[in-house]
């Protein structure tokens, strides 16, 4: 019997058409920000964000920071944010010197809990940040109702939610601001990159200035710039090399997403009904809750299958001030979640094999 290849946790997927597109850009005059960035933004609006303007940037973290600036978050403002997420969600709030108020996760998944958001809103709350963990959508109706009640904006971290839908509406076309990442292991990758979608189209020109040193780049290239900078800017623009990858990947994204959804559904079917395992995955990251996490992880390692926690509760990092005691659901789930392999190069047979090992541990 031949030895099975190692099954890795994540694996970047770059379509062949992207490689051809990169070569064309590298042989052109523009390899930095040029017409391909504009084309990618337009295509994103057509397929994902619709009336919400799309601003291409250098990373998902850039998109988040830009959203926080545009939302008017300043020193001392309180921002309700998820306790469980990639640190990239919350670190840019430190750039703004905001006070992060961590909200708990829900009992049955790792998304932010709307009930806990309500408990933690004060007169000083400037914004609500939510994360669609693994591509599984948050309870946006409940969260939007809170935002409307208190008159505060919602910033969605959709860095793991390419193509995700909430009640027939695509993520990226709902809230005031939505941030996407095209980092290496995302469903759409530009090696690194990001996209910010903005509900208020009037903010688009300001966003474009801030992403390029605070300069009106369009006016400068046309020699019509007034040679002044009125907003502190950053080097957050996307390049045409990255945009060319994004364009080609987005054009065939329906196929990519369908494959990931099929893998996620196979996990769900295979693990359904197990008393000791609860599947909470989405198309981007597939996660289980189990008291036998360490045992399952060791069994998978023995078969050369990677698994890990990937993300951790942010309050435990020193930069955020240390562990808090106001998130009991996170406390209960902290030692129980495990991320399973999920990427384009897996097939249904691989998923069933992974699940068969889990079933041996949790009969």
pTM higher than the cut 0.75: yes
Contacts with 356 (C-beta within 8 Å, 6 or more apart), sequence order: none
Burial 291-303 (b: 16+ CB within 10 A, else e): ebbeebbebbeee
Tell me what pLDDT residue 221 has. 83
CATH class belonging to 253-361: alpha beta
The first and second tokens of residue 112, run together, are 């932010």
Place of tokens 């020699």: 223
Three-state secondary structure call for residue 130: strand
* 339 in Cβ contact with 5 (< 8 Å): no
The first and second tokens of residue 272, run together, are 């359904």
Of 331, 295, 289, 275, the residue nearest 134 (C-alpha)? 289
CA separation (Å) from 143 to 92, 123, 200? Answer: 22, 17, 19
Tell me what pLDDT residue 222 has. 83
Contacts with 41 (C-beta within 8 Å, 6 or more apart), sequence order: 53, 54, 55, 56, 195
CATH class belonging to 16-251: alpha beta
Q: Please give the Cα distance from 61 to 64 (Å, whole number).
A: 5
Tell me what pLDDT residue 3 has. 54
Contacts with 312 (C-beta within 8 Å, 6 or more apart), sequence order: 84
Contacts with 317 (C-beta within 8 Å, 6 or more apart), sequence order: 87
- If the chain, 363 residues long, is cut into consecutive pieces of 10 residues, what is the mean pLDDT of each piece? 78 97 96 97 98 98 98 98 98 98 97 98 98 97 98 98 97 98 98 98 97 91 87 97 98 98 97 95 95 98 97 98 97 98 98 97 86
Q: Please give the Cα distance from 226 to 224 (Å, whole number).
A: 6
How is 12-78 classified by DSSP, letter by letter?
----HHHHHHHHHHHTSS-SSSSHHHHHHHHHHIIIIITTSEEEEES-HHHHHHHHHHHTT--TT-E
Q: Which backbone phi and psi does 254 adopt, to 5 degrees? A: -55, -40
What residues does each domain of the chain span?
16-251, 253-361
Distance of CA 169 to the CA centre of its chain: 17
CA separation (Å) from 177 to 63, 64, 174? Answer: 9, 9, 8
Contacts with 269 (C-beta within 8 Å, 6 or more apart), sequence order: none
Of 86, 145, 84, 95, the residue nearest 115 (C-alpha)? 145
The first and second tokens of residue 345, run together, are 């190069």
Q: Which backbone phi and psi does 144 adopt, to 5 degrees? A: -65, -35
Of 22, 6, 10, 51, the residue nearest 284 (C-alpha)? 10
Tell me what pLDDT residue 5 has. 86
Rounded (5°) CA angle 138-143-145: 145
Q: Please give the Cα distance from 279 to 268 (Å, whole number).
A: 6
Which residues are catalytically annotated?
186
Tell me what pLDDT residue 224 has. 84
Three-state secondary structure call for residue 169: strand
The first and second tokens of residue 160, run together, are 């793991």
The first and second tokens of residue 298, run together, are 């060791």
The region, left, alpha or beta by phi > 0 then psi within -120 to 50, assigned to residue 214 is: left
CA separation (Å) from 77 to 96, 167, 199, 212? Answer: 9, 32, 22, 26
């Amino acid at each position: 019997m031949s030895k099975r290849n190692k099954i890795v946790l994540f694996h970047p997927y770059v379509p062949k058409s992207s490689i051809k597109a990169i070569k064309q850009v590298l042989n052109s005059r523009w390899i930095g920000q040029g017409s391909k960035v504009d084309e990618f933004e337009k295509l994103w609006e057509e397929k994902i964000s619709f009336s919400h303007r799309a601003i291409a940037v250098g990373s998902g973290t850039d998109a988040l920071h830009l959203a926080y600036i545009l939302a008017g978050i300043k020193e001392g403002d309180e921002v309700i944010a998820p306790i469980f997420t990639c640190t990239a969600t919350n670190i840019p709030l430190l750039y703004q010197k905001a006070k992060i108020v961590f909200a708990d996760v829900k009992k049955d998944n790792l998304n932010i809990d709307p009930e806990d958001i309500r408990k933690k809103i004060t007169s000083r709350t400037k914004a609500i940040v939510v994360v669609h963990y693994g591509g599984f959508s948050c309870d946006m109706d409940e969260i939007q109702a809170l935002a409307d009640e208190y008159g505060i904006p919602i910033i969605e971290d959709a860095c793991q939610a390419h193509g995700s839908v909430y009640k027939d509406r695509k993520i990226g076309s709902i809230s005031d601001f939505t941030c996407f990442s095209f980092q290496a292991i995302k469903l759409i990758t530009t090696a690194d990159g990001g996209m910010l979608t903005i509900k208020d189209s009037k903010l688009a020109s300001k966003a474009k200035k801030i992403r390029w040193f605070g300069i009106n780049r369009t006016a400068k290239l046309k020699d019509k710039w007034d040679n002044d900078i009125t907003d502190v800017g950053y080097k957050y623009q996307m390049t045409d090399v990255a945009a060319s990858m994004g364009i080609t990947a987005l054009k065939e994204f329906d196929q990519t997403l369908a494959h990931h959804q099929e893998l996620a559904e196979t996990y769900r079917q295979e693990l359904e009904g197990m008393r000791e395992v609860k599947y909470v995955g989405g198309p981007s990251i597939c996660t289980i809750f189990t008291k036998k996490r360490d045992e399952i992880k060791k069994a998978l390692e023995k078969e050369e299958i990677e698994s890990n926690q990937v993300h951790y509760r942010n309050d435990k990092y020193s930069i955020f001030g240390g562990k808090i005691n106001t998130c009991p659901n996170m406390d209960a789930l902290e030692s129980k979640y495990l991320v399973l392999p999920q990427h384009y190069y897996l097939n249904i047979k691989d998923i069933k094999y992974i699940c068969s090992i889990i079933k041996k541990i949790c009969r």
